[in-house]
Amino acid sequence: MTQQLEPMPADWRRALAVVAHPDDLEYGCAAAVAGWTDEGREVTYLLATRGEAGIDTIAPDVCAPLREREQRAGAAAVGVASVEFLDHRDGVIEYGTALRRDIAAAVRRHRPELLITLNHRDTWGGVAWNTPDHRAVGRATLDAAGDAGNRWIFPELREQGLEPWDGVRWIAVAGTDRPTHAVDATSGFERSVQSLLAHRTYIEVLTEEDPEAYCRAFLTGATAAAAERFGGRPAVTFEVFAR
């Protein structure tokens, strides 16, 4: 029998989701986010870039504000009002202390118990190669939980009034091929379709299909794939690291 996935920890009030690009959270995570905001939990989105290099036919200076707008709409569809951008360069995000410091600063500002990020591993399902941006942001987010809690790492943050926050208890990574936990996607599913559909410009370039049919089919497939390991319920999966 396949190993069953654990339910996600529920003992938290604030989450910070840190990803590289607009749409990273909408390709799967958003159904879980919708359920959490329904329960009165606070979720903030932090994006390393504005996704300005994501659409071949649209130049970065035009693309950035457009994708920011679509990202804010996608977040609003699942009850997230707070969306921040770090303005690293799309496609060439570097893993390193600059990125760790930016994420640690956000962790200190928002004081989450749960950090969320996207697949930091080399591949998607052992098949497709992951992008350097996802790897860099995923790894830096896993590392920033500790950086945020240590007063001697990035002392300049304390000079800016950002005191250490060592309250991150879990880092949940979406989209890995080694999931450990899951969230029932049923109640948030419709809103997750709307949140992905908010990235309309990106999706219209990506596919010839009707955008809504494309979003619905993708998210149905993704959540159904997890069901056999989660009591038959459609689910969003996470690889959870405890601290």
Cα–Cα distance, 222 to 238 (Å, whole number) = 12
Q: How far is the CB of 61 from Zn ion (least distance, A)?
A: 20
Q: How far is the CB of 158 from Zn ion (least distance, A)?
A: 32
- State the residues that interact with Zn ion by CB under 5 A: 20-21, 24
Q: How far is the CB of 199 from Zn ion (least distance, A)?
A: 11
Containing H/E element for 68? helix 60-76
Residue closer to Zn ion by CB (options 24, 147) is 24
Beta carbons of 197 and 191 less than 8 angstroms apart: no
Beta carbons of 224 and 234 less than 8 angstroms apart: yes
Residue closer to Zn ion by CB (options 187, 207) is 207
Residue closer to Zn ion by CB (options 20, 66) is 20
Q: Exposed, middle or buried by CB within 10 Å (0-12, 13-18, 19+), for 155?
A: exposed
Q: How far is the CB of 136 from Zn ion (least distance, A)?
A: 11
Cα–Cα distance, 10 to 37 (Å, whole number) = 12
Residue closer to Zn ion by CB (options 21, 135) is 21
Question: Closest residue to Zn ion, Cβ-based?
Answer: 21
Longest dimension (CA), the chain: 54
Beta carbons of 117 and 18 less than 8 angstroms apart: yes
Q: How far is the CB of 11 from Zn ion (least distance, A)?
A: 30
Residue closer to Zn ion by CB (options 21, 50) is 21
User: What is each CA distance from 102 to 95, 99, 156, 164, in whole angstroms?
Assistant: 11, 5, 11, 14
Cα separation of the two ends of the chain: 29
Residue closer to Zn ion by CB (options 140, 157) is 140
Cα–Cα distance, 172 to 181 (Å, whole number) = 9
Q: How far is the CB of 149 from Zn ion (least distance, A)?
A: 27
